[in-house]
Chains A and B, each alone.
Chain A
């Protein structure tokens, strides 16, 4: 199984400041035949299902604000919120869909400082 490790577990950021979440996979999730990283990011607010933000490591889902961006390749990935807004308070999960069983990181809770 591919283990996904997120850091930090939680972070508090001032409104308008940058938030950075890291995700490391225990093996590469890059598939050379299509040149893509099988890595997604989700946002989950209390009492709601997760919402897809980023797929293929860096492709923003339709309707997601451009302050959210994803980067990285292979085993190391980052989700960046360039200017934190109040509505961004949530738990964020990385997710590998390279191989079964699909696995998720443990989550990073983002709060306002």
Chain B
């Protein structure tokens, strides 16, 4: 079945970096883009950015520009999200989510989600 499985929880100190992985299975990896969405404790959903799995093109939320990098490894079917210069307000559950439809040339709803990775930033 179509599935996204994310890496485990992380605890980081302020100023450090974190890299979260998202392994896809059950579909053609390079046919669907992947977004990253985070959710701070007790809060709503925040879109971080999107990556094309076919050509590596990215689109990042302006507020995270310069701190976030999204990449993919098509040989292993894994998407990565690295966030640098971590602050306490980066503490959140981080989700990867697959586009609902085959890459269309525009943004899409998010049809398949990973289980989430908790990132805690604390000194």
B16 sits at the interface (CB 8 A): no
Those of A54-92 within 8 Å (CB) of chain B: 55-56, 61
What string of 1s and 0s marks CB contacts (under 8 Å) between B65-105 and chain A?
Answer: 00000000000000000000000000000010100100000
A50 engages B110 (CB within 8 Å): yes
B47 engages A55 (CB within 8 Å): no
**A-chain residues with CB within 8 Å of residue B37 when the two chains form the complex:** 50
What string of 1s and 0s marks CB contacts (under 8 Å) between B38-71 and chain A?
Answer: 0000001111001000000001011000000000
Bound-complex Cα distance A100 to B65 (A): 13
Query: Chain B interface: which size bin?
Result: 20 to 34
**A-chain residues with CB within 8 Å of residue B116 when the two chains form the complex:** 49
Among A10-18, A19-27, A103-111, the stretch that binds chain B is A103-111
For the complex, count residues of A whose C-beta is within 8 A of B.
24
Indicate whether A52 sits within 8 Å of B109 (C-beta atoms), given known contacts A101-B47, A104-B44, A104-B46.
yes
